[in-house]
């Protein structure tokens, strides 16, 4: 894993950018926007996917596998992510050549120069909130730019280069890179001390959020419900702070949250006015995300009623409670949730729409360090909210394996062993789903690694069991 270099100089002009990890959801969006700006784009990734296919079709040179030979002589700038290993051969060669090496967030800074940046930060809800802001603005007739961490279903893309000054970005706090943006409007969905591997202490983590908020040139919009967000709000020096949430006293208040078909309905109150609103996606957490997005729209000058109505254009983002298919009455969903709070939100949302059916969760633990530290917390959430849980092995991502740390740590932390099974092999997990699921049930894969790639196996196992 590499850390963003805050001292790196962002060049005025970029002619040929090479993206190491070009197939990632965020990286691919940035690469696409570079193409639209007239920059020659190349890149590499471990495997092909829809993002790499689209970029290649648009003219990018995409290599599968990392190799120094992928770095053309014409490259002047290399874009990297924090998940990259320092000994990546393309990165090593780029350093030897003395090329510009930018973190993905710094590449976004280059794209957003001169824009009115709306930066969305927080432990959970960033992708959904950014998607809501982007789709609502387009629905309202605006033409913003945006780069999101997931594809917005209604738009079929995770990026757009618009004609207006507004530019919405999903700002990542995990490595401190959210401090790079020239932010005008800062939206903080919540705060959760989940990245101490980078910050070292809770105090340093919270100080970064305070700095992020106080740097916003126009307004800070922050959760008035989340305990750590509330604590940080009290330490801000910013003169213009807007709070949103369910609590009394919030400037934009959400209330009367209730399931509505496959989505959620609620009331929004601001400036003495109350209107009804609804979303096509379920869950209390999405109603709260909507309140934050509406607070942004109000600051941009839209009325409460039109802002609330525009939420109807948002149909969710891919890998967020994303329906993948249905076999014999069993629906299979995929969700990016990889932290206990996110898992709780996803499963709680599923519970509101599953009816008489059961929830069968397929959990892929992410990171050895997180699994080691939070296995009992994950187990508690799954045991409370899912009817049956299948635990896969750990997706280590950027971390080296830790002896003794496997998915079994989660399954062994269940108090009732009948509610869980550890299936380190995907074939075994698919067989387990086929054995347990029955018509009316929801099967949900959860994790930010590659767990979504098990979905075809799950669907096939469900078909074959008959």
- Is 128 annotated as contributing to ligand binding? yes
- Is 316 annotated as contributing to ligand binding? no
Cα–Cα distance between 359 and 357 in angstroms, integer? 7
**The tokens 């594809």 sit on which residue?**
151
Residues 6+ apart with CB under 8 A from 227: none
Q: What is the token pair recorded at 211? A: 């700095």
- Is 352 annotated as contributing to ligand binding? no
242, 218 Cβ separation under 8 angstroms = no
- Is 235 annotated as contributing to ligand binding? no
- Is 338 annotated as contributing to ligand binding? no
219, 186 Cβ separation under 8 angstroms = yes
Cα–Cα distance between 28 and 362 in angstroms, integer? 27
- Is 122 annotated as contributing to ligand binding? yes
Which member of 90, 166, 170, 399 is catalytic? 170
CA neighbor of 319 nearest in space, from 176, 447, 188: 447
Which member of 52, 112, 126, 159 is catalytic? 126
Strands 40-45 and 16-20 come out as parallel
Give catalytic status of residue 112 as yes or no: no
Cα–Cα distance between 73 and 87 in angstroms, integer? 20
- Is 163 annotated as contributing to ligand binding? no
Beta-carbon count within 10 A of 183 CB: 26
The strand pairing partners of 360, in sequence order, are 388, 443
Give catalytic status of residue 170 as yes or no: yes
Cα–Cα distance between 108 and 213 in angstroms, integer? 19
Which member of 52, 81, 127, 233 is catalytic? 127
Give catalytic status of residue 126 as yes or no: yes
Burial of 417 (0-12, 13-18, 19+ CB in 10 A): exposed
CA neighbor of 151 nearest in space, from 174, 127, 170, 129: 127
466, 439 Cβ separation under 8 angstroms = no
Binding positions are 122-128
Which residues are catalytic, by number? 126-127, 170
Binding positions for ATP are 122-128
């Amino acid at each position: 894993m590499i850390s963003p270099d805050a001292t790196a100089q962002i060049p005025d002009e970029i002619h040929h950018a090479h993206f190491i990890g070009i197939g990632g959801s965020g990286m691919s969006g940035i690469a696409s926007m570079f193409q639209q700006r007239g920059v020659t784009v190349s890149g590499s990734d471990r495997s092909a996917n829809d993002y790499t296919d689209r970029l290649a079709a648009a003219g990018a040179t995409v290599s599968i596998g990392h190799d120094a030979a992928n770095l053309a002589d014409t490259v002047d700038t290399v874009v990297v992510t924090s998940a990259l290993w320092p000994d990546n051969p393309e990165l090593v060669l780029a350093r030897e050549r003395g090329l510009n090496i930018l973190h993905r967030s710094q590449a976004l800074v280059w794209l957003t120069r001169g824009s009115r940046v709306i930066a969305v930060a927080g432990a959970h809800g960033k992708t959904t909130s950014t998607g809501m802001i982007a789709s609502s603005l387009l629905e309202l007739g605006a033409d913003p730019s945006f780069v999101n961490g997931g594809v917005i279903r209604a738009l079929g893309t995770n990026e757009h280069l618009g004609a207006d000054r507004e530019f919405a970005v999903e700002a990542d706090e995990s490595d401190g890179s959210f401090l790079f943006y020239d932010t005008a409007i800062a939206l903080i969905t919540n705060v959760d001390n989940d990245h101490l591997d980078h910050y070292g202490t809770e105090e340093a983590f919270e100080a970064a959020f305070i700095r992020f908020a106080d740097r916003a040139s126009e307004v800070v919009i922050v959760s008035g419900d989340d305990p750590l967000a509330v604590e940080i709000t009290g330490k801000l020096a910013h003169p213009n702070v807007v709070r949103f949430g369910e609590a009394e006293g919030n400037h934009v208040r959400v209330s009367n949250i209730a399931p509505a078909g496959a989505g959620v309905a609620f009331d929004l109150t601001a400036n003495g006015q109350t209107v009804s609103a609804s979303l096509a996606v379920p869950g209390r957490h999405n109603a709260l995300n909507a309140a934050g997005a509406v607070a942004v729209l109000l600051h941009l000058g839209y009325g409460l009623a039109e802002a609330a109505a525009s939420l109807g254009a948002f149909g969710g983002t891919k890998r967020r409670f994303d329906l993948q298919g249905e076999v014999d009455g069993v629906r299979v969903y995929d969700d990016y949730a990889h932290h206990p709070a996110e898992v709780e939100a996803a499963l709680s949302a599923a519970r509101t729409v599953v009816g008489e059916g059961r929830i069968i969760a397929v959990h892929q633990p992410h990171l050895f360090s997180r699994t080691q530290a939070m296995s009992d917390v994950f187990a508690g959430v799954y045991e409370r909210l899912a009817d049956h849980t299948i635990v896969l092995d750990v997706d280590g991502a950027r971390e080296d394996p830790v002896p003794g740390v496997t998915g079994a740590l989660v399954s062994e932390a269940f108090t009732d062993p009948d509610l869980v099974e550890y299936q380190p092999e995907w074939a075994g997990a698919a067989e387990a789903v086929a054995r347990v699921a029955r018509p009316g049930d929801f099967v949900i894969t959860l994790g930010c690694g590659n767990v979504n790639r098990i979905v075809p196996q799950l669907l096939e196992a469900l078909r074959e069991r008959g």
